[in-house]
A = this chain, B = another copy of it.
Amino acid sequence: MPRWSERADRAPLLAFTDSCLRGIGQILFANNPLSGLLILCGIFAASPWLGVATLVGVVSSTATAHLLALDRSRIRAGLYGYNGALVGGALATFLLPAWSPSLLLYAVVASAMSTFVMVAVSLVLVDQFHLPPLTLPFNLVTLPCLLVSFTTTHLQRSPMLVRHVEGPINTVLRESASGVAGSQAGALLEAVLRGVGQIVFADVPLAGVLILLGLLVWSRIGALFALVGSVVGLLVGMLLGGDGHDAYHGLWGYNGMVAAEALAGVFLVWDWRTALYGVTGAAASTGLYAGLAALFGPLGLPALTLPFCLATLVFLALKNASPVFRAVPLPKVTSPEEHLRLLRSPLSAPPHGMENRDEERERRGLR
């Protein structure tokens, strides 16, 4: 949408709105304001309070980036918004009470912090290792912010945030903790869609549908692999014998979803090998989710998207050591289809035919 972008750039408020919508889209790598809008609708469909907190988060972190005069093109791409949006959503999910002004203020401060942490994480990952920061800043800000509720009295924890020891695990796919299974096929579909929604804490199937629609606007490959990743996550969870209540509510799916997207076409150029790699990465992220859940449970913390971040960074680190994959340089990341187009497009002026293709590709930054 070059036209919209240009129009937005002329009006500061419109540009800011555009940056924020892209920020919400960037949670799932979709640098597209319409994707952001549809994802936001999905969040509001799950809970208006969750929607407001997410909005507050993305506005606060994007505004902080402006205040610090950070790189304008990165702000406009939503890169200083997605972590803040998630921080806002997480605090609204794990702290109480809903609609509390002091909790909103807490979300404003915490989301602003995510911009600082984003700069620090980028200094290490982007500048030194040419790896994307992913949602690591969101995790690094949210985990301490949730921990604060254990040593202070003015923050109230939701029942989700409790230090628990191991109990018996019931693997039956079910809606309520003590419930029984309904239709297996329906439950599986719900689990997959809720898995998509859980990336933004939206625990209803409709949110999953709206998010997938939002991704479709940006990239068909992206939307497909988001769905595939959620399915892979659910299957790994069932294969390992994870809790069926968690599985039904999508907790086994969301890490795999973003991992599959990231590896299958966003940071590596899509082909059958990266497709396979995306599925493998989704499985690894889900395995790591099971591990980190066991580590964080006794501390009273959720694993958030840390499993996705760590597994995906490890898988992406391979891009320099192995000749099997074509990496997309970070500043050129747009969408899986665009990367393919850039790679396949006829050369601007091919003087000596095929031989120059590789050079040309290198010039375009696609190895």
The reply on A123 being an interface residue by CB < 8 A is yes
The reply on A52 being an interface residue by CB < 8 A is no
Residues B292 and A147 in contact, CB atoms below 8 Å apart: yes
Chain A 287-308 near chain B by CB (<8 Å), digits 1 or 0: 1101111110111000000000
Q: Which residues of B contact A169 (CB under 8 A)?
A: 151-153
The reply on A166 being an interface residue by CB < 8 A is yes
Residues B70 and A322 in contact, CB atoms below 8 Å apart: yes
The reply on A122 being an interface residue by CB < 8 A is yes
Residues B144 and A291 in contact, CB atoms below 8 Å apart: yes
Residues A123 and B154 in contact, CB atoms below 8 Å apart: no
Q: Once the chains are docked, how many angstroms separate the CA of A21 from the CA of B166?
A: 40
Q: Which residues of B contact A242 (CB under 8 A)?
A: 151-153
Q: Which residues of B contact A243 (CB under 8 A)?
A: 151
Residues A292 and B323 in contact, CB atoms below 8 Å apart: no
Residues A287 and B144 in contact, CB atoms below 8 Å apart: yes
A96 shortest CB reach to chain B, Å: 15
* In the complex, residue of chain B having the shortest beta-carbon distance to the beta carbon of A169: B153
A177 shortest CB reach to chain B, Å: 15
Q: Which residues of B contact A122 (CB under 8 A)?
A: 321
Residues B295 and A116 in contact, CB atoms below 8 Å apart: no
- Which one, A179-187, A225-233, A312-320, is touching chain B? A312-320
Chain A 103-119 near chain B by CB (<8 Å), digits 1 or 0: 00000000001001101
Chain A 137-174 near chain B by CB (<8 Å), digits 1 or 0: 00000011111111111110000000101100101000
Residues B124 and A290 in contact, CB atoms below 8 Å apart: no
Q: Known contacts A151-B169, A239-B154; is A295 also within 8 Å of B290 by CB? A: no
Q: Once the chains are docked, how many angstroms separate the CA of A291 from the CA of B128?
A: 29
Q: Once the chains are docked, how many angstroms separate the CA of A294 from the CA of B169?
A: 27
A34 shortest CB reach to chain B, Å: 29
Q: Once the chains are docked, how many angstroms separate the CA of A144 from the CA of B310?
A: 12
Which residue numbers of A lie inside 8 Å of B, CB to CB?
Answer: 68-71, 113, 116-117, 119-120, 122-124, 128-129, 143-155, 163, 165-166, 169, 171, 239-243, 284, 287-288, 290-295, 297-299, 313-315, 317-318, 320-324
10 A-B pairs with least C-beta separation: A144-B291, A153-B241, A154-B241, A120-B317, A150-B294, A147-B291, A152-B240, A147-B294, A148-B290, A120-B314
Q: List 12 A-B contacts (CB under 8 A).
A: A69-B323, A116-B318, A119-B314, A123-B321, A128-B128, A144-B290, A144-B291, A147-B294, A151-B297, A153-B169, A154-B241, A155-B240
